[in-house]
Structure 1
């Protein structure tokens, strides 16, 4: 799962909500759930990294389980796998560099990993780019939000300078989407590069030291039919993030000082206006690439209704994890460096397989068809789900809904669930009604500032116009404390293994809840629908039939 450890800071005390729990459906087995997670989290799979042998073993295991259930293959050429080619881009031996030339002609330079972090270009391994600079505020342009930070600015052939983050007071999920599309906005106006500087809030939320810690990680992208690594904004040829000394150099001689800009950004709704800077930047970067392949694993259970079986409900969970942590100086020979990923996301895959078993063996089959997607490269940027949503084996408009399962925390008896994104479509009430007979409640997003809705696999379906939610165990009954401890401890760490005190009966319970949700989606006369005038529905499915918001 891709989530900041800082999310743990957002966990607040939550009232304990204890309800009577009816006996779990006997078709959902705690022992079988544990066996699945145990296999996927075994040291022999070495953390299931994308492109690794361990991941390939896990993929074959999941495919064999699908076959055992009599499901139909939904991958390429009638098989279980949708094999994807990925490009891995790493920094070359020569470090990247940013040079800022002031209005008087004097220059200052910084190398990557100091006070600048130079981005990697997937399709241009050798870059040496120089251009004038234009400050564009937050760099957001979105008609539905009524924001155009480029109004009156000429950035064609120039490098834009943006503030990181988004204006305070905006709805967090809508704002997160707008912030994630800054490169596309810059490209649309003819810019060729993009530099970012922090606001007081973003520098506090994500300190520079934390950014530097991840600075040398490789970049991944899936490779398209044209043989090129996919890039949503290829016109933005290079990017870089700047720390304080370099950021101050950008604004030398500017009509407004950076401190004043940040003060305005601190205010609710504060949106600093852009202007041409009196400086220019030269950015150099060298990279090397290699290509690996890794498959999504896809199975289909055909629907039973002659008409509705042409519509599909997708249950997804990522199969990959982060592999083996490189040895550090001082590590002892017995140091555990394998990131087993028991909860992240062996537990999500186990849930999906339990739901698939229940659906395949039910005497009354679901009316709509079900697609079970075990995705790859989630930890590399939601890439496997993105590729599938763009290249599904069925028409994308035939996919009517998606529920994603990522890292259910099974360390406490959960009494509620959170469906991130439930406010945007009828999936919210569908989930609430489906789990109510189990004594489980649907709780609102407990950490909206973390914008989880736009940071998990289901969002790749949202971007293709499909109503979707990411389902997680909730914060009631002590869940908030367990989430906080996990995110600051075992998350993305070798301790996420079978030695944790995982409550396997809660895995069976979570599976039953998801089966009920899937059946509700599959059997309803009307498929899930976006709410009218919802930002995401209007952005990605403007012509789809909408539901009235309750």
Structure 2
């Protein structure tokens, strides 16, 4: 169903979810460009060296955020009465010996090294990986009963390495497709596979070319470590993984009943779902890695709700505090080459928004009815690690968290007139967001980049997976936004250019803070908490017994 029709149909629900007119109303607080700019300026200063997870710069940033929370009069909601939820992380790095992948089949035997036409994944549990197995093509490698998809039907992959197409079938809703695509390893594990390699479709290769994938191929891998000392792995039986470029993929499909070109052509059609079959080749994957433990904190604060009946329900406003640190030196760099990825927009701007909303909420003479948790997460750039850990180890019982709004990289480079709330059409958060920002002349727009799978790439997704209605709020594509987003993603994104030298529109920053304050108040002050829609895919998957709102 189109977002516009969902919002129109849900309008009565939005009205019911608004605060009663007899209740005292909070005055609109002032948000200033200077307030946003001062926070972004501090967090993106060179002295913080890009706020990399586990770094000194990130620790300084965490202490700064905690000091602001304390200044506002909030209460610490981290470990043992502190502001910090300290997370132990395992960092896995490659050694100087590059991993190798060997294909043996009708085309003979050939070796490739990591970083050439193969990208070999790191294992958190096997530092000396050596695995060999026959191959089975499994189409997209998706299994989901609610979507009526089982790419493993009729296939025996026990003890095998599966070969899966990247992405998901054309025609699937983008957010459901992004989710089932992110769950492929678990599906392979459930059927007894021991490894997974991926090959591109025509769409995935256009969206994310091989050269772009290679650019990030040597980054370390991170995961959180449980209190019992075990590194988290959502599919531990999948011992090896790799991505294959065309020369390797062609060797894998040598002698197959269908060529890779035919498979890709079918996958490029609307609803195209190539069926799987056993391949005539096998793969051996070898890789060496080292591991070390580091720690990094989430910063967590709480504003207690004013309504005795609702104070034990919690709204979470989150933003990631980390960025990607200092880039390695490249040939031709000099002592003056800027290699610090300051992360002014990604995501000092999101943290600034959250802090300004926290300040305004704490200072309001009419406090929010529900309690508010403010979460500055770590490790987002490493795979949403801090948010995942918090959602699994929250400050309060997870079922008492009624909604989450995540703020990640608001693009404050133009006077935005619309926002995108990724995930808005799955719960009553959609009409809540739309109604809250409408008085500002801001509209709610659908996902403008469905091919990018944004829904599973920001922290709110980890709350969704724990059954919490959640959205990721970003500035939209209207009024020059599409051009600004295109230029930023192709330029300063994850680059030293994301700093204070950009032409940042600080008035847009103040406007974004006001919008989020209004959204937070609408969620916190409504008589009815945010609810999953009836028969919604994510609600039914992750919160099957929770109350529902009608989708009219």
TM-score (norm: length of structure 1):
0.94
Q: Which residue of 2 aligns with 1:69?
A: 72
Pairwise CA distance, 1:398 = 0.3
More moved, 26-35 vs 535-544: 26-35
Q: Identify the match of residue 273 of structure 1 among 272, 275, 299.
A: 275
Which residue number corresponds to residue 181 of structure 1? 183
Tell me if 1:31 matches 2:34. yes
Q: After the TM superposition, which residues 134-213 of structure 1 pair with which residues of structure 2 at under 5 Å, given as runs?
A: 134-213=136-215
Alignment of 1:306-385 (within 5 A): 306-385=308-387
**8 Å CA contact 2:29, 2:364 repeated in 1:** no
Tell me how far apart the structure 1 counterparts of residues 484 and 551 of structure 2 sit (CA, whole Å): 33
Preserved contact between residue 267 and residue 274 of structure 2 (Cα < 8 Å): yes
Decide which moves more: 528-537 or 495-504: 495-504
Number of the residue aligned with 1:59: 62
Distance in 1 (CA, whole Å) between partners of 2:460 and 2:69 is 21
Corresponding residue of 1:471: 473
Q: Following the alignment from structure 2 to structure 1, what is the Cα–Cα distance between the partners of residues 201 and 474?
A: 31
Q: CA deviation at 1:201?
A: 2.1
The residue that corresponds to 1:514 in the other structure is: 516
2:19 corresponds in structure 1 to none
Query: What displacement does 1:407 show?
Result: 1.2
CA distance in 2, matches of 1:324, 1:66: 28
In structure 2, what is the Cα distance between the partners aligned to 1:305 and 1:42? 40
Runs of at least 5 residues in structure 2 that lack an aligned partner in the other structure: 1-26
Q: Which residue does the alignment assign to 2:259?
A: 257
* 1:30 Cα deviation after fit: 2.1
How much does 1:32 deviate? 2.0
2:229 to 227, 248, 251: 227
> Which residue pairs with 1:402 in the alignment?
404
RMSD of Structure 2 on Structure 1 (CA): 1.4
Instruction: Verify the 8 A CA contact 1:123 1:228 in the aligned structure 2.
Output: no
Counterpart secondary structure, 1:506: helix
Cα distance per residue 1:263-320 (max 9 Å; x no partner): 2212211111111112211111111111111000000001111111010000000111
Q: Secondary structure at the match of 2:382?
A: coil
Per-residue CA deviations over 1:435-467 (Å, capped at 9, x if unaligned) read 112222222222222221221111110110100
Q: Which runs of 5+ in 1 are unaligned?
A: 1-23
Q: Aligned equivalents of 1:103 and 1:329: distance in 2? A: 41
Moved over 6 A (4+): none
Instruction: Determine which of 100, 103, 111 is the counterpart of 1:100.
Output: 103
Deviation track 1:84-125 (CA, whole Å, cap 9, x = no partner) reads 011111111221111111158x42111111121111001111
Q: Aligned residue for 1:126? A: 128
Q: Count the aligned residue pairs.
A: 526
Question: Secondary structure at the residue paired with 1:47?
Answer: coil
- Structure 1 residues 262-271 or 383-392, which shifts more? 262-271
Name the stretch that deviates more: 347-356 or 409-418. Answer: 409-418
Partner of residue 288, structure 2? 286
Q: Which residue of 2 aligns with 1:7?
A: none
Is 1:426 matched with 2:428? Answer: yes
Alpha-carbon distance between aligned partners in 2 of 1:372 and 1:454, rounded to the nearest angstrom: 21
> 1:500, CA displacement in angstroms?
1.6
Give yes or no for contact 1:221–1:383 (8 Å, CA) kept in 2.
Answer: yes
Native 8 Å contact 2:182 2:456 kept in 1: no
Equivalent pair of 2:305/2:372 in contact (CA under 8 Å): yes
| Greater Cα shift, 82-91 or 203-212 | 203-212
Q: Is the 8 A contact 2:207 2:451 kept in 1?
A: no
The SS at the match of 2:49 is: helix
Structure-2 change in CA distance of 1:200 and 1:412 (3 Å): closer
Task: Quote the Cα distance in structure 2 between the aligned partners of 1:223 and 1:468.
Answer: 25
Map of 2:43 onto structure 1:
40
